Structure 1
Amino acid sequence: MEKGIESIFKPHLEPKEVYKGGKNLPKESNKKIYKLSSNENPLGQSPKATEALIQAATNVAIYPDQTDIRLRETLVADFDQQLKVDQFICGNSGSEIIDMLLRAFINEGDEVIYSNPCFLPYSVFSRWYGAKLIDVRLKGTDYALDVEGILNAITPRTKVIFLTSPNNPTGTYIPKNVLEDFLDRIPKNIVIVFDEVYRHFANAEDYTSALPYVKAGHNVIAINSFSKTYGLAGLRVGYCYTTSKIANYIRQIHKPFLLPLTSLEAAIGALNDSEFVAETVKTVLEGRGFLENEFQRLGITYWPSQGNFFIIDPPIPEFEFTDFLMNEGVMVRPVSQFGAPGKVRITIGTQEANEALVKALEKIKGLSKKE
């Protein structure tokens, strides 16, 4: 019997949930809407990035750099020479870096461990390559990493474990002593993908990035992005750093001319704008403190955050809540898709945006009190 076209499809790519980004602002609106749904930079973008972008826009008729070497050299300087240029890999967003890593390490049937609630592409992208997905959920009401649960889930087919600190959407982090204990107990043939795209906003005394563990030679790959701190979400630039051995292996599948000229130049400009980075972090930390106080005053259940956002338990069902806030001019995001049903994520904005959010919350609390 003649087989249909479906016979050539990969079975692990049968229709399933796909990642959907946050909604954009309505193109036509008669009122001011504060977008607090996508964890974007509240101050916009670095002026130096803008200047570099404008200059690059006059040369888009020519190909960009064949490699990402100039951006990697700038990253070496940004990391105070603690890493070598061959330890960085750049790409079109942190998401593409995740895809590249999975393409490099995952064969069909290999196992990937991740911990919901978390960034949905960990599981969605892994499925593209036929991975068996193992969800060891964050535990307890404080969304802590389940170290023992992950260790017990490891099998000979485990290839990649995703860790995130600070974590999207919960805002929680992995304390340094927990991370060190975990890394000491992981088999040496497993790759740890450590997503730290919100690291600039983490100020807990026991927070750590992946840098010390990469320098120590662990099989850790640290994911970073230019979308948050640097305000380049629209240009889709990301990077990772790891050991030289792992980075040079991954570089075998790094496409030439991967980064557009505009994105490349803007990213280099952003890295050279330390004043903008400092002002961004200051704005987020001040806004974080302000909103914590307001949530407490209003009786809003929230989780302490080390990112530029909060996850809350809304006083009415999440979709009613997001619709209500949208009508009040504030856009926020339900995160059931991220493994946190019933919860809503709210980005920290400018003081004006934060005050608009508080005003809307005051109004909704006047309409409904959660039993």
Structure 2
Amino acid sequence: MSKEIESIFKSHLQPKKAYEGGKGIPSNGGQKIYKLSSNENPLGQSPLATEALIAAAKNVHIYPDQTDIRLRNALVKDFDGQLTEDQFICGNSGSEIIDMILRAFINEGDEVIFSNPCFLPYSVFSRWYGAKQVDIPLREPDYSLDVEGILASITDRTKIIFLTSPNNPTGTYIPRPVLDDFLSRIPKNIVVVLDEVYRHFADAEDYVSGLPYVQEGHSLIAINSFSKTYGLAGQRIGYCYTTLKIAQYIRQIHKPFLLPHTSTEAAIGALNDVEFIQKTVRTVLEGREFLAETFDRLGIKYWPTQANFFLVDPPLPELEFADFLMKHGVMVRPVSQFGAPGKVRITIGDQEANKALVAALEKLT
């Protein structure tokens, strides 16, 4: 007897709510719109990256490099030689790196641990591979990591634990003593994925990236992106670094000709633009201080942040609050989808954008 095509569909790929990225700037009757909804670089993109893009555009009829070795070598330089080129893996955005890691390690029925509120692709992408999703929520009210809860949830099927520092959408981070303790208690056959795409904006004394843990040989993969600090969100390029053993394993599924020529050249150019990186970080830190003072003055509840955005508890329902700001030319992002119901994430912009946000908030309060 003939069966319908649905009979061969994978059960874990049945239609469910998918990840929805940030929206583009809509036409708003000629009104200027400040997009503070997608955590993009407030200064645009690196001038050196632009120059590299223009030069690369002349050769888009030619296949790109077969491997990512040139970008990996540039990353070695950026990390001051503390890692080898074989410890880096590059892909089309940090999101693709997440997908690559899941493809490499997850079989149907394996378990993936994450902590909401967090970046939605941890759960959405793991579902694609039939993983059992284990959510150990961040502890309220400060959104700190529930170390004991995660440790207690580990089983023989646990393959990956997702951590984020600084975390999207809360802006919170994992202090070094907490991460030291956590990693010392994790079985060696579990991969800890540390998403650190906002690390350049973290200035807390006890903030730590994944670098020292990789150097010590922990089974840790640190994910990074060129979308935030470097201003290359539209080029969709990211990378991770890890131990040599893990990198060599994952590299087996790295496709040839994966990175577009333009993305590779732009990323290399951006890495070389130290002045732009410093200016970006300075702009974000100054804007962070300015907006925190404003929220305090206006009585708007927010969480201290180590990223280039704030999580706020708005004085109106989240969608109503977002609509109000949109009418005043400011786009922000409700983050119920990220596991923070009723909350809104606001990107730190340049001075003009930040002042436009404040003007709109003052009309509300």
TM-score w.r.t. the length of structure 2 is 0.99
Q: How does 1:1-371 map to 2 (within 5 A)?
A: 1-27=1-27, 29-365=29-365
User: Which residue identity does 2:235 align to in structure 1?
Assistant: L
Give the Cα separation in 2 of the matches to 1:29 and 1:283: 30
For residues 248 and 29 of structure 1, do their structure 2 counterparts lie closer, same or farther at Cα, with a shift above 3 Å needed?
farther
Cα deviation, residue 26, structure 1: 1.3
Q: Give, in whole Å, the separation in 1 of the partners of 2:334 and 2:86.
A: 39
Alpha-carbon deviation of 1:17? 1.5
- Post-superposition CA distance 1:26-69 (Å, at most 9, x none): 14641110000000000000000000000000110100100000
Q: What's the secondary structure of 2:59's corresponding residue?
A: coil
CA drift at 1:2: 2.7
Q: Which structure 2 residue ranges, 5 or more long, are not aligned?
A: none
What letter corresponds to residue 73 of structure 1 in structure 2? Answer: N
Distance 1:29 1:101 in 2: 44
Distance 1:26 1:335 in 2: 19
The answer for the alignment partner of 1:369 in structure 2 is: none
Say which is worse superposed, 327-336 or 18-27, in terms of deviation: 18-27
TM-aligned CA deviation for residue 16 of structure 1: 1.0
CA distance, structure 2, for counterparts of residue 335 and residue 208 of structure 1: 26
**Alpha-carbon separation, structure 2, partners of 1:227 and 1:278:** 15
CA distance in 2 between counterparts of 1:17 and 1:241 reads 31
Cα drift, residue 92 of structure 1: 0.1
Deviations 1:262-309 (A, max 9, x none): 001000000000000000000000000000000000000000000000
Within 2, Cα distance between the matches of 1:331 and 1:276? 25
CA distance in 1, matches of 2:274, 2:18: 36
Question: Take 2:4 and 2:61, find their aligned partners in 1: how far apart are those partners?
Answer: 44
Aligned residue pairs, count = 365
How big is each residue's C-alpha offset from its partner over 1:108-134, in whole Å with a ceiling of 9 and x where there is no partner?
000000000000000000000000000
Q: Distance in 1 between matches of 2:80 and 2:261?
A: 25
The TM-score, its normalising length taken from structure 1, stands at 0.98
DSSP-derived class of the 1:142 partner: coil
CA distance in 1 between partners of 2:294 and 2:140 (Å): 25
**Displacement, 1:243?**
0.3
Q: Which runs of 4+ in 1 moved over 4 A?
A: none
> How far does the alpha carbon of each residue in 1:107-166 deviate from its partner, in whole angstroms, 9 at most, with x for none?
000000000000000000000000000000001200000000000000000000000000
Query: Distance between the aligned counterparts of 1:176 and 1:196, measured in 2?
Result: 13
**Seq. identity, %:** 78
